[in-house]
Amino acid sequence: MNRQSTTAQAARDELEETRRRQLIEVTIDSLAEVGYVGSTLAQIASRADVSPGLVAHYFRDKDGLLAASFRTLARRLAQRVQARFALAHTPRGRIQAVIDANLAPEEFDQRTGSAWLAFWGQVPHVQGLKRVQTVYQRRALSNLCHALKSLVPAHEAHSLAAMIAAMIDGVWLRAALSSWQEADSASARALLTAFVDGRLKEYGPAAAEPAGPSRPAGPSRHGASPAIITSINPATGAVLAEIRVDGVAEVNAAVGRALEAQHLWAAMTGAARARVLRRAANILRARNRELAELETRDTGKPIQETIAVDVASGADCLEYFAGLAASLAGEHLDLGPQAFGYTRREPLGVVAGIGAWNYPLQIACWKAAPALACGNAMLFKPAELTPLTAIRLAEVFAQAGLPDGVFQVVQGYADTGRLLTRHPQIRKVSLTGEVGTGMAVMADAAASLKHVTLELGGKSPLIVFDDAKIDNAVAGALLANFYSAGEVCSNGTRVFVHRRIKAAFLERLQARSAAMRVGDPMDSATQVGALISEAHMEKVLAYIARGRAEGARLVVGGHRVTTGDLANGFFVAPTVFEDCHDDMAIAREEIFGPVMTVLEFQDEDEVIARANATEFGLAAGVFTNDLTRAHRVIARLQAGTCWINHYNVTPVELPFGGVKLSGLGRENGRVALEHYSQLKSVYVAMTDVDAPY
Ligand code: NDP
C-alpha cells in the first residue's frame, strides 16, 4: 500500500471507531430509558439516525452491541480508578480511590446506573457479558486486596476486600431499586468510608490512618512534578484538595493526545457533535446542586448564585452551541461560466482556554462550547485558585460520549499557562484574565501566530439619568457591584448619577446595601460570600483605605466582616463611596471587590466624555426612561457590552467582550464560531487551462 492509501485507510478506521463509540453511547442511553428488552437493534439505529444494517455491520447483533457497551462502561470505570490511584499516596488512599470511583456522581446516576443494572440482569444468560463481568469483578477485588495487604494480615485481606466490594454493589443496588430516588453519591461514599474506617480500626492505629485529603483526578501525569496546588475554601480557610501541577512533559503529552483526538472529532458531522454537547448540557443540569456546591466551596460565592447561574449558564452555552454545530457552513460563489468558488468553514485544530477564578465552570463552558462545536480539541487551564470544577466538566464530557483527548484539563500556575500560549502546535488561545496577563499572552502567542481571544478587566460606567425609575436604577447598581462579592469583570463600578436625583438615589442605595446579608456561602440565605483569597481581600481593603484617604465619603460598609464563623474567611461588607472624583484610584482602577463609587454629573455630553475617559471598555449601562436618549448615549459609549435599564445580564445569544484594553474577540453568540474556525477558499475550474506559455 502506498502512503496515500495508508493515510486514507487510517482516516476510515478513525471514522469507523467514532461511529462505534457513538452507537455505544446511544445504546447506554437506550438501556437507561427503555431497558434491555426494549433496546433492539432497530430502536438503537433509529435513535442514532442510522440504518439497522449499519449497526449490524459494526456489532453483528444485539448481543455484540451490548457486550461492546458493557466493556466500554467497565473500561471507563477502570480508567477512573486508575486516575484516582495516580493521586493516592497510601494503601488507605487506594482503597478510597476504588470507593470514590465506583460511587462517583457520574457512575452513581440514573443513566449509567440503569445501564449497569440492565447488563447485570443479563450476565447469567449471555456469555459475552459474563466474561466482561468476571474481568471487572476480579479487577475490583485485586485492587482492594493489593491495598489491604499492607494494612491487615494477608489471610484476611481477601475476605475484607470481598466485603467492601459487596458493600459497594449493595449500596449501588439499593439506589437502583429505589429508581435512583435515594441515590446520593456523597452519602454512599460516606457510608463506605465509615465502614472501611470501622473495620480497619480493629487492626490498630497504623491500619486506621486517614485516607488523606480527597484529590480529584486530573489528567494523567508523566514523570513526578513536585509542585502542588493547594485549593482553599475562601470562606473557612480549609484545604479542599491538592492538585499536582502539569509541566512540560504533561502539556506535550496532552497536546499529542489532543492532536489525535481532534481529527476524529472534526470528522464527525456537526449534528453528531451537537448530540454530545447536548448530552453534556443535560448532565450538567442533572448535577447542578453537586457542582454548585463544589463551585461555592472553591470560590466562596454564595450557593444562591452558583445554584442559579454558574452551572446553568454553562449548560445553556453548551446547548446553544450544540444548536449551531450543524449549521456551520461555507458559501458558494458564482464566478461566471468558467468557474465557481466555495468556502469551507474548518476548525483551527488544538486550541487552549485559560480561565480566571471568578466563574470557573462557566468560563470553561463559554470557551469549550464554541471550540468543540466547530470540531476543535481544547486544553483548558483553570486559574490555580479554582482548579476543581473544570475537572468535573471533563468528567461530564466523557460521560456524554466526547472522544478521549478532545477536552483535557491541565493544571498549574502562570508557567503552565505559558506552556500553552507558547506551544507551536496549539492554534489559538482564549484567555479570561487581567489586562497585563492578556498582553503577556498575546506577546507569547505572536511567536506561533496563534489566534487570540482576550476577555480582560474593566472599570465600567453605569449612568443614571434624572428621569430613570430610581428603584430600578438602584437595583441595577447593586447587581452591577455586589453580585459575586463584586468579583465580576463587567461590573459597573463607576455609578454616574444625575445631580437632581442623587440624594434620593443614595438614600435608597444605602438602605438596600446595608441590608445585604454577608455570611456562610453554603447558607442559601447568604447574598454576599467570601472573596477569593486573603491576598485579594487585602488588596480590596487597601483600595477602601485609599478611597478614604483621597477624600471620598463612605456611605456604607468599608470593613472586613469577621463575625462568628466568618473570622476564618475573607469577607468584606458591600461598600459604597460618594463624593468621588474621576481621578481617584477607586474610580480609575479595577478593584474586583464589593466597592462602588458614586459620581455626580449634570449633562449628557459631560457624562459621556467622563464615562469614556478610561483605558478600559468592557461594559456600560444606562438607566433612563427616554428611549431616544438611551440609544443615543449607548451609541457613543466605548464599551463592548451594554445594557439599557438593566445590568450584568449575559444571555448566551448576545456576544460578550470588550473594546480598548478590555479585550479582543467575542465569546457567546453566533459570532463566537468565527473565532474558533477558519475559512478555506476553493476555486473550481470548469474549462481547460489556458496558459500563456
Ligand atoms: P489573571 O490574569 O491573574 O489570571 C488569569 C489566568 O491566566 C489564570 O489561569 C492564570 O494562571 C493565567 N496566567 C497568568 N499569567 C499568565 C501568562 N503569562 N501566560 C499564560 N497564562 C497566564 O486573572 P485572575 O484569575 O486574577 O482573574 C481576574 C481578572 O479576570 C480580572 O481582571 C477580571 O476583570 C478578569 N475577568 C475578565 C472577564 C471577561 O470576560 N472580560 C471575566 C472574568 C474575569 P494562575 O491563576 O494559575 O496564575
The catalytic residue among 25, 295, 319, 455 is: 455
Residue from 230, 309, 430, 437 to probe ligand 1 pocket by mutation (most atoms less than 8 Å from CB) = 437
Mean pLDDT of 511-521: 98
Determine the pLDDT at residue 217.
33
Mean pLDDT of 202-212: 60
- Which atom of ligand 1 lies nearest, measured to the CA of 381? 9
pLDDT of 598 above 70 = yes
- Which atom of ligand 1 lies nearest, measured to the CA of 438? 2
Instruction: Quote the CA–CA distance of 296 and 530 in Å, as a whole number.
Output: 9
Q: Could you confirm whether 455 is annotated as catalytic?
A: yes
Q: Could you confirm whether 317 is annotated as catalytic?
A: no
Cα of 398 to ligand 1 centre, how many Å? Answer: 27
Q: How far apart are the first and last CA of the chain?
A: 37
Mean pLDDT of 98-112: 82
Determine the pLDDT at residue 287.
97
CA dihedral (384, 390, 395, 398) positive or negative: negative
Counting residues of the chain whose pLDDT is more than 70, the rounded percentage is 94
Determine the pLDDT at residue 212.
42
Q: What angle do CA 85, 90, 93 make, to 5 degrees?
A: 55
Q: How far is CA 649 from CA 132, 142, 620, in A?
A: 50, 53, 12
Q: How far is CA 163 from CA 48, 81, 147, 191, 465, in A?
A: 40, 18, 14, 13, 71
Residue nearest to atom 14 of ligand 1 (CA): 414
Counting residues of the chain whose pLDDT is more than 90, the rounded percentage is 69
Q: What is the pLDDT of residues 638-673, one digit of tens each?
A: 999 999 999 999 999 999 999 999 999 999 999 999
Cα of 558 to ligand 1 centre, how many Å? Answer: 26
Cα of 442 to ligand 1 centre, how many Å? Answer: 13
Give the confidence band of 364 by pLDDT, cuts at 50, 70, 90.
Answer: very high
Sequence-ordered list of residues with C-beta below 8 angstroms from that of 117, at least 6 positions apart, any chain: 173, 176
Residue nearest to atom 46 of ligand 1 (CA): 383
Q: What is the pLDDT of residues 221-267, one digit of tens each?
A: 333 333 789 999 999 999 999 999 999 999 999 999 999 999 999 99
Binding pocket residue ranges, ligand 1, CB within 6 Å: 354-358, 381, 383-384, 413-414, 417-418, 421, 431-434, 437, 440-441, 455-458, 489, 590, 592, 618, 658, 663
Helix intervals (H) in 180-338: 185-201, 248-267, 270-286, 288-299, 303-305, 311-325
Q: What is the mean pLDDT of the chain?
A: 91
Residue from 228, 229, 354, 365 to probe ligand 1 pocket by mutation (most atoms less than 8 Å from CB) = 354
Residue nearest to atom 20 of ligand 1 (CA): 417
Q: What is the pLDDT of residues 546-570, one digit of tens each?
A: 999 999 999 999 999 999 999 999 9
pLDDT of 211 above 70 = no
Cα of 152 to ligand 1 centre, how many Å? Answer: 48
Give the confidence band of 377 by pLDDT, cuts at 50, 70, 90.
Answer: very high
Mean pLDDT of 426-447: 97
Determine the pLDDT at residue 135.
85
- Three-class SS state of 309: helix
The catalytic residue among 62, 301, 367, 428 is: 367
Q: Could you confirm whether 539 is annotated as catalytic?
A: no
Q: How many CB atoms lie within 10 A of CB 562?
A: 11
Determine the pLDDT at residue 86.
67
Pick the closest to residue 411 from 238, 250, 263, 193 (CA basis). Answer: 250
Q: Could you confirm whether 489 is annotated as catalytic?
A: yes
